[in-house]
Amino acid sequence: MGLLRRMARARLASRVIRRLRKAGFTAVRYDARAFQVRFSRTDHKEPAVLDLAPLLSRKKAHIDSYISGLKDPIPKTWREAQPRLRPVLRGATPGTPLRRPVLPYLFEYVVIDHPEAMTYVADDQPETWGVRPEEVYAAARANLEGATLRGTPTEVIRFVDNGDAYWTSHLLLEHWLELLAPQVSGSPVAFAPERGTLLVTATSSPHLGAVFAQAEELYARSARPITPMAYVADPDGRPVPFAVASDDPLHLVVRRAECILAVQEYARQAAHLTEPAAEIHLVGDDTTGWHTRAVWDERSLLPTADEVLIGERLVPWSDLAARLIPVAELNPIRWTLG
């Protein structure tokens, strides 16, 4: 990125931050890598997220006018809220947003969609609207039903989000992935490496290994990563992790993606815990295989791992499992000695 572009982005971020604070928003924080600003109101627990890229070409007056319109991001009634809800697929997020687990290390959240920002729905908001959480999830998913499937038949489809398509969220829709079978000429397998990209190919594609590598690269360099893993539809049309036999040529890359996601999500979790948390690492190579290893002092909160290094002893997880008890209300799960 050139110097002039960096300066323009910094000026815009500074202007937006000042305007948000002047408008009474709190906890205003700029994420330079993602080019986003997070903010909240004192009467709302969950943050709103404002993407700055669409504002780069806008005039100052338009930006000020838009921010003025953000003063009440939470609709007061269910009737107002319902058409603005969208589901999103994310890892663990701080705070108390409404969420439910849908895949290993990943959750379904609901956001309120604004033209250039979104606000997470808090876990107690459904009660305020007078509805059950299940109704909120259902409404959010239903708002994606009219999305158009783009792309002509090809070996790999790349859906790039324009800010309001929520392509990665479409994985949450039952039977949606199966609809792409004619476009990839086979049983679809999908990757959601970061919030703006959805990759779909066929499980029989000779390019599948390369798509795994592409997904991992996107995941690693993105400021808004989701998962490096691949997903297929189960018999009920719901997404499940793509799995292969241990002797399959793709076993190593599938296993590597599983381990990377576990390591990264535990690291994200540890950054928000008040108690000491044991570290977990990716170990191995493309010859011996990939697995996870936790480094534990027998006092800190232990993540689930394939093996645990305690001092100089390397202990398989199966040898420890009987001595461990789960820590309440943590997901991904952590353990302590029983």
Q: Report which of 338, 316, 314, 311 is spatially closest to residue 327, judged by C-alpha positions.
A: 338
The mean per-residue pLDDT over the stretch 181-189 comes to 94
Q: Report which of 237, 223, 226 is spatially closest to residue 30, judged by C-alpha positions.
A: 223
- Residue 17: is its pLDDT beyond 90? no
162 sits in the region (left: phi over 0; alpha: psi -120 to 50; else beta) called: alpha
Q: Say which residue, 136 or 70, is predicted with more confidence.
A: 136
Summarised one tens digit per residue, pLDDT across range 116-160 is: 678 899 999 999 999 999 999 999 999 986 555 555 667 899 988
Q: What is the pLDDT of residue 49?
A: 79
Dihedrals φ, ψ of 25, to 5°?
-75, 150
How many distinct structural domains can be found in the chain? 4
Contact call for residues 110 and 85 (beta carbons, < 8 A): yes
For 111, half-sphere exposure in the C-beta direction (CA atoms, 13 angstrom radius) is 23
* Structure confidence at residue 3 as a pLDDT band (50, 70, 90): confident
What is the pTM assigned to this prediction?
0.84
Q: What is the pLDDT of residue 42?
A: 56
Q: Is residue 264 part of a domain?
A: yes
The domain in which residue 126 lies consists of 79-142
| 214 and 188 within one domain | yes
Q: Is residue 248 part of a domain?
A: no
Q: What is the pLDDT of residue 152?
A: 63
| 314 and 267 within one domain | yes
Q: Is residue 249 part of a domain?
A: no
Q: Is residue 54 part of a domain?
A: yes
Q: Is the dihedral of CA 110, 112, 114, 118 positive or negative?
A: negative
Q: Which residue has the tokens 């109704």?
A: 135
Q: Is residue 333 part of a domain?
A: yes
Contact call for residues 31 and 223 (beta carbons, < 8 A): yes
- Residue 103: is its pLDDT beyond 80? yes
The mean per-residue pLDDT over the stretch 316-334 comes to 96
Domain boundary residue, one of 56, 73, 90: 73
Cα–Cα distance measured from residue 168 to residue 159, given in angstroms and rounded to the nearest whole number: 9
